[in-house]
Amino acid sequence: MRQKAFTLIELLVVIAIIAILMAILMPALRKAKDQARAVHCVSNVKTLSLAWFMYTDENDDKLVPGHVADNPIQWVGRPASNATVDEKKAAIRRGLLFPYAGKEIDVYRCPSDRRIKDPSQFAFRSFSIAGGANGEGWGGSVRAQKYSDIKNPGTKYVFLEDIDPRGFNTGSWVMNFNPPRWVDPLAMWHGKRSTFGFADGHSEMHRWHDKSFIDWCETAMFEPGSFSFYLTPPADEQEDILFMANGYPCKSHD
């Protein structure tokens, strides 16, 4: 007996059902994928934070230099502006922290950081060290050069997701004090959230609240050609900048 075939209408109904199911499932799958990347990012920052902590333990309480340079060598080296991906990775391997990070190159980047696929960017590394942790002196702060200089290390961040609109994270992440003022933007690859690694070795995701700060950072992320450094937050949008000022890992600041 000849088997009955699907009619055109039946095929169209099946296709419509599949399309509806895909429309329902895709956002959930995308959300799950984004969540997995966020967990991976937090894990990478925890690895770097523990590596940073181990460096101090094996170097008489001294903090690893937190700038980006080869002379003198810092926590990572500095690639050329036209560096290849392999040269960017080599700059990380030259850094003082690399042996303590298990010699794993991928822990230096967030899996949600897409800049490496942008021909106008030359970023591989997603994370920077805050300038107060033996990096760049800035904005009225006195750099911590020893671990003992950092008070309440569980509340002081060291690593953060940087988004330097010039192409790659060229130095330490810094801000101004008295009054607090934004200098460098932060990456928000996970919605309105960023990953931090703290001086006691733990890492966590932090959610942002102030619209002016979020908009400013998103300009650096998606429209770097329109970005301007420095932002004074409005008087009614102080939550985020006070969080960063209170957690800045310097010895002291004005």
Residue 69 belongs to domain spanning: 10-253
On whether residue 104 sits in a domain, the answer given is: yes
Pull the structure tokens for residue 242.
Answer: 């006070």
* 151 in Cβ contact with 213 (< 8 Å): no
Q: Residue 231: pLDDT band by 50, 70, 90 thresholds?
A: very high
On whether residue 4 sits in a domain, the answer given is: no
Does residue 138 carry a pLDDT above 90? no
Q: How far is residue 208 CA from its own chain's centroid?
A: 14
- Compare 121 and 100 and report the one with higher pLDDT: 100
The DSSP bridge partners found for residue 142 are 252
On whether residue 117 sits in a domain, the answer given is: yes
Does residue 2 carry a pLDDT above 60? no
On whether residue 49 sits in a domain, the answer given is: yes
Per-residue pLDDT averaged across 126-154, rounded? Answer: 94
Does residue 102 carry a pLDDT above 70? yes
Q: Residue 173: pLDDT band by 50, 70, 90 thresholds?
A: very high
On whether residue 5 sits in a domain, the answer given is: no
pLDDT in tens, 30-67: 665 767 888 999 999 999 999 999 999 999 999 999 99
Q: What percentage of the chain reaches a pLDDT higher than 70?
A: 92
Does residue 17 carry a pLDDT above 80? no
On whether residue 1 sits in a domain, the answer given is: no
Burial 25-60 (b: 16+ CB within 10 A, else e): eeeeeeeeeeeebbebbbebbbbbbbbbbbbbeeee
Counted domains in the chain:
1
